[in-house]
Amino acid sequence: MGSNVERTLDRLYHGIGLAEGLDDLRNRVHRFAEDEVAPLVPSMEERALDVAGFPADLFHRMGELGLFRVPHAAADGGAGLANPSLAAALVVEELAYFSSSIAVVYVCQAVFSGGILKYASPELKKAYLPAMLSGEKIASGAITEPDAGSDVSPESITTAATPVRGGWSLTGRKRFIINAPVADLACVLCATEGALSMLVVDLKQDGVEVPPPDRKLGMHACLTSDIVFHDVFVPAGHLVGKPGKGLRIALGALTLGRIAAAATGVGVAEAAFDESVRWMKERRMFGKKLAEMQHWQFRLAERATQIAMARDLCYKAALRLDAGEEFPEPETSMAKYCGTQVAADMARDAVQVHGGYGFTSRLGADGSRCRVEQLYRDAKGPEIYEGSNEIMKWVIARRMFEG
């Protein structure tokens, strides 16, 4: 199951006003994901959550194919596209349709860590960005701490950099950091003299400790772990932007990060939707097909509408970002909340409509696979990361009730 499934939403959705050339990019990513990612998904997701489980070959293929360059300007070694944010959203949606693990690995590298580097000095960019965009170096973005997740205010962040000759000495612990077990570098939000700053830290040096990867509900091929810094030296030139601007830089990168989380949700929702349609056309009971039962017809009609709404919000937020708005709200928060929620809702429906098969990843009797069990598990994470959906609603509500 899961291969040669018709893309039903192609018949239900019209992407009005999408810039020329983006269809071609979408098709290229679709072919890569279908031909090279999809066949590896079962083995990737069933492997132990350890460093050897990181899909290094696919990561390097994304580098070779120029996918990490998509959100970046030509001056920074990027693809220099007219609509880089929308293009990145389309890449993420296509990857997530086949594997949300790979989509999230991509987002961490190209969108979030790469997005932070956009604020760096020309020298710092030159030192890291080309190697990140080619896939030679693996990057991570380290904001969350054991006691600072939703609240990353200066009062909560305890990782601190103190000035020393020629730079900083960094001490503290970060948590749930995507790619950390395999990363060469981390963009670290930390306190510097009472304010929050962003530092680029080489992880392959003394004083950096990376414990084993976390065991997670889903997205097993995307590794997360803590990163612990014990008096790690960071050169002065590794400060991104100005001291004290770290939170603004993180929020700047998180803007496209949240649009990408929305796109991840849309891709997962589309996959769960297509699996459900296919199953409903085949599965018979009480003398008819599931597809003839109005309860499920109406449920899928509702989900198709919600997925179209989430997709529109996602593309609209991306287009506003591409038009030069630094924080295109409320669409960014609406898209993140709506796209990730419809993924979780659609995946739960997909399990239900598949009955016992939906609860089973592989049938013991004949080894046949059903994909929706994994989609259900994978759909939960995006409701939590890149700012939980409660925080997204708070951002939307603030526009109603503040000022």
Ligand X SMILES: Cc1cc2nc3c(=O)[nH]c(=O)nc-3n(C[C@H](O)[C@H](O)[C@H](O)COP(=O)(O)OP(=O)(O)OC[C@H]3O[C@@H](n4cnc5c(N)ncnc54)[C@H](O)[C@@H]3O)c2cc1C
Tell me which residues touch ligand X (CB under 6 A).
108, 141-144, 149-150, 176-178, 219, 224, 381, 384-385, 388, 390-391, 394
Task: Specify the residue, 130 or 149, whose C-beta has the smaller distance to ligand X.
Answer: 149
Helices (H), 33-188: 41-46, 56-64, 84-98, 100-106, 114-117, 122-133
103, 276, 287, 296 from 90: Cα distances, Å: 11, 22, 41, 29
The answer to whether 257 touches 386, Cβ cutoff 8 Å, is yes
What is the C-alpha end-to-end distance of the chain, expressed in Å? Answer: 52
Q: How far is the CB of 107 from ligand X (least distance, A)?
A: 9
Instruction: Judge contact between 200 and 124, C-beta under 8 A.
Output: yes
CB 218, min distance to ligand X, A: 8
Please say which residue, 143 or 310, places its beta carbon nearer to ligand X: 143
CB of 47 to ligand X, least distance (A): 17
141: β partners? 187
Smallest gap, in angstroms, from Cβ of residue 31 to ligand X? 27
Closer CB to ligand X, residue 25 or residue 249?
249
CB 160 → ligand X: shortest distance, Å? 16
Pick the closer one to ligand X by CB: 25 or 259: 259
User: Minimum distance from CB of 270 to ligand X (Å)?
Assistant: 20
Three-class SS of residue 82? coil
Residue with smaller CB distance to ligand X, 160 or 293: 160
Smallest distance from ligand X to CB 262, Å: 15
CA–CA separation, 187 and 199 (whole Å): 6
CA atoms of 22 and 322, how far apart (whole Å): 14
Nearer to ligand X, 168 or 176 (CB): 176
Contact 107, 92 (CB under 8 A): yes
Which CB atom, from 222 or from 290, has the smaller least distance to ligand X? 222
Encode 191-224: b = buried (16+ Cβ within 10 Å), e = exposed: bbeeebbbbbbbbeeeebebeebeebebbbbbbb
Nearest approach in angstroms of CB 250 to ligand X is 8
Judged by CB, which is closer to ligand X: 361, or 388?
Answer: 388
β-bridge partners, 228? 173, 209
Neighbours of 400 (CB within 10 A): 7
In the complex, minimum distance from the CB of residue 301 to ligand X, in angstroms, rounded to a whole number? 30
Peptide bond into 330 cis (omega under 30): yes
Give the residue nearest to ligand X (CB). 149
Contact between 382 and 369 (Cβ < 8 Å): no
Contacts of 216 (CB under 8 A, 6+ apart): 49, 224, 381
Closer residue to ligand X in complex, CB, 133/143: 143
**Structure-block tokens of residue 140:** 């991570």
CB atoms within 10 A of CB 38: 17
